Each structure stands twice: as structure tokens, then as C-alpha cells.
Structure 1
């Protein structure tokens, strides 16, 4: 398996979590004026394909600097929830994902430490519909954490993202985040998940070296 880049490009106009500042990229030096180019980038720690550290949601949670570089290498299991392109059933907008559709410990290799969930919502990147993705119930997030796994998603959020189309029965707050980050499990969001990915692969998801609550990553899938 050749390495596969699962990373969204960071660029102005890209989707960001509602209420977050957008990405800016401005020239601070130009070839004409300075003889070289430098670009001033501005974005949050949770832009594009990024990793959430426990400090993102937990008052006493660890920041990225508490982890070694090897902690960002994952033995990943792909869980395809999107359904076959010719099938009648995939996930609907804002549909809750329950433990029933996730593998249990008997279905995982002993070294598996991340479940990568393909919801199909990555196909809506750049559309308003992207924010109405399926979401993990608290029970599903707890199930993943109890398996000893982090989670990777092709969505902007494991919890429901606030939009005008939110349902009255959706959970308040960020219970899936709390279940995962409270257990010390990472969350990697906004993955680009092509249909050619195998069921099992190694995901290297190395963040920028900042002592923060999260950071953009270069997410690359490769052979074990």
C-alpha cells in the first residue's frame, strides 16, 4: 500500500466550526518587494484535519506536549458506516451512531488503537450540508473509549454541530467529546477517507509541535 494522504488542505474559505474564525493567508513578503516570499497564516488549533487533545474539553486534560511523537501513530481499523454506493441505506443527516453499529473487542486485532469511522459526510466537504453530519451518541463514544481506542472521523465533530436544522432530541453540549477526551482518547476530525482505503492500516497523525489543546495534523495512512 502506497501512503495515502487523508488531510484536508488548509486554505481561506475552507469549512470551519460555526463561530470559529476562518483561515487567512496574507503575504508578509513578496518577490517583487523583498526578493523572497513569506505568507502569514492565521487559523485556530482546530482547523481542517486536526487532533483534539484532552485539554480541548477537559478542565484538567493534558495538552499535546504531554505526549510523545509515537502516541500519534495508530493501528487503525476502518469502520464503513456510509454503505455501498448501490445500497439503499447509509447514514442520514444528523443521525445518531450507536454502539450497535461499531465493532466490539472480539472483532478487533489486539493492537488496534483507533477506529476510523467513514460516515460518508466527507463527500459534502465545502457544502452547507457538511455541518449536518451524523454524530456519536455518548454510549457509542464510551464504547470506543472502553475498547482503548481513539476515534477518527470524516466529519467536523463527533457530537452534533449546531445548525438551524438541529433536532429537539439531539444531545446538548459535547458528550461524545467528554467520553473520549475524558478517557484520554484522541479525536481526529475532518479526515478525507477515499473508498480505496483497506480495512486495516497505520494512521500517522502528527500534530504541529505546539503545547495546545489540539493542532492541525498531516494524516497519512500506510501499511502496518
Structure 2
């Protein structure tokens, strides 16, 4: 496949041909055959005008410009912020001179998913911060986190979507309360050189943290975030292969994205 052609595809098949070799699941068939029969789950939310956004974010604006009845075709104009809905944070979001979203190579926007489940901890503490112990417990059971991994934090918070009041969970003082990652956990993942971190909440930083310490730790190292993921309960701890497809926005600090999880046919 020609290199130029690969760039035209929203989720290049060439990048997926190593899926069965890196997903942690052994298969005795050609990668292309495995992919043809894979179960594909979209783990993102659709963009809507009433979905939850981070305070100060630009909501989706939609204006009809043409209708089939009037113009012979249907077309709309969209206005949207770079960080609404399910979206990718590029390194440039918190580091001057770092890669914007269009410079994240297709090679890094995919990889085997490492799903870390902290739903039990979050059930008793909405401000729960993922710890190094949570990540090390995953590694003891499933093996070391590797540079090709995309780590997904399953908190169960997606069940509150699209109710913005419940999703932000803001108290009387204006402080939001939802789970995220501790800076110590972020440092461990940066040391493991994982490609990205995804979470099913409004931010990878926990709600009460207004200084974005986790963002400031992880993004300048070249990794990316995926925020506002949808329900992750169908994904196993290992075995899923992710393809992340943010809008190809030049110099963007981030962009809304489709996120696809490929699961072995037998799963």
C-alpha cells in the first residue's frame, strides 16, 4: 500500500494488520481475516447540541443551510469547540511547541487497549484518583504495560451521560466531582511510554483538580488523551485493539474523534 494512500483513510487498514499480533490474543489466521470477522464497538458519544461540555467550552452549534425540498440537497453548518464530546487532547494542548492533533501520526492513533477497571473504587468515592497501585495490579495480572498500549480507565461515569448536571457533578461551591488519574499514576504511564490515556469522564484530571496537573504531566511527554469515552463495559482487560480517528485539524489543540474497538470474533 502506498504511503500517500494510507493518509487518505480515516482508520487505515494497513495499521490494523498487526492487530492480532499486538492485541494479546493469539489467532491462527491471517490478520486481515481476523479483522474481517472482528466485532467492532464504537466507544465514543455522538456530537449533539445538548451534550455535556467542560465549563467554558463551545457547544455544538448547528445551522441548516440547505434542504432537499428547497435546494435539492441537505447540508448544515457546524460550529464546535476542539474539546467537546469524545475527543483527543494533543500534546500541544498543554505544551508550547508540542505536536498539534494533525501531527499525531496514524501509527500512534491505534494500539492494543489496556482496560483498567476502577468502577468499584468510584462507586464509593466520586473523586477517586487512579493510583500507581491500580496500574501495577493490572500489570501483575496481565503483564507489563508497553509503549504500544493505549490505557483506558473504566470508571463507570459514562452511565451519567448525557445528563450534564450529573456528569459534571458540581457542588454548591462550583467544584466538580468526578474521577480521574493521580499525577503519580500519570507519571508511571509516562515512564511506561504508553501511547495514550483514555477515560469515560469529562477530563483525565479528577473533577476537583482545577490546575490540570495530570494534563501538565502527561501531554508534554508526547502522549495524548481521549476524554468523554462511552461505556467501556464490553471491553475486556486485554484483547481489544483500538483505532482513534480525531478530526484532521491543522494546528489543533485537540479534536472530536471516533474511537473504534476491534474485538476477536470469539469474544
CA contact (8 A) 1:46 1:216 kept: yes
Q: TM-score, normalised by structure 1?
A: 0.87
Structure 1 residues 25 and 82 mapped into 2: Cα distance closer, same or farther (>3 Å)? same
Structure 1 counterpart of 2:160: 124
Structure 1 counterpart of 2:249: 210
Larger radius of gyration: 2
Write the deviation string for residues 146-190 of structure 1: whole angstroms up to 9, x where unpaired.
1111211001101133xxxx4xxxx44111001110111110011
Which deviates the most, 119-128 or 104-113?
104-113
Matches within 5 A, 1:168-183: 171-183=209-221
Deviation at 1:68, TM superposition (A): 2.0
Query: Can you give the 5+ residue segments of structure 2 that lack an aligned partner in the other structure?
Result: 1-37, 169-176
Structure 1 counterpart of 2:200: 154
CA contact (8 A) 1:74 1:204 kept: yes
Query: Can you give the 5+ residue segments of structure 1 that lack an aligned partner in the other structure?
Result: none
As a proportion of its length, which structure holds more helix?
2
Q: TM-score, normalised by structure 2?
A: 0.74
The reply to whether residue 189 of structure 1 matches residue 189 of structure 2 is no
Which deviates the most, 108-117 or 135-144?
108-117
Deviation at 1:124, TM superposition (A): 0.9
Structure 2 counterpart of 1:135: 180
CA contact (8 A) 2:147 2:193 kept: no
Structure 2 counterpart of 1:114: 150
CA contact (8 A) 2:122 2:155 kept: no
1:125 and 1:28 mapped to 2: Cα distance? 29
| C-alpha RMSD over aligned residues | 2.0
1:134 and 1:116 mapped to 2: Cα distance? 13
Structure 1 residues 40 and 72 mapped into 2: Cα distance closer, same or farther (>3 Å)? same
Q: What is the aligned residue count?
A: 212
| SS in structure 2 at match of 1:130 | helix
Write the deviation string for residues 43-69 of structure 1: whole angstroms up to 9, x where unpaired.
111111111101111122211222321
1:136 and 1:13 mapped to 2: Cα distance? 27
CA contact (8 A) 2:122 2:128 kept: no
Deviation at 1:136, TM superposition (A): 1.3
Deviation at 1:207, TM superposition (A): 1.0
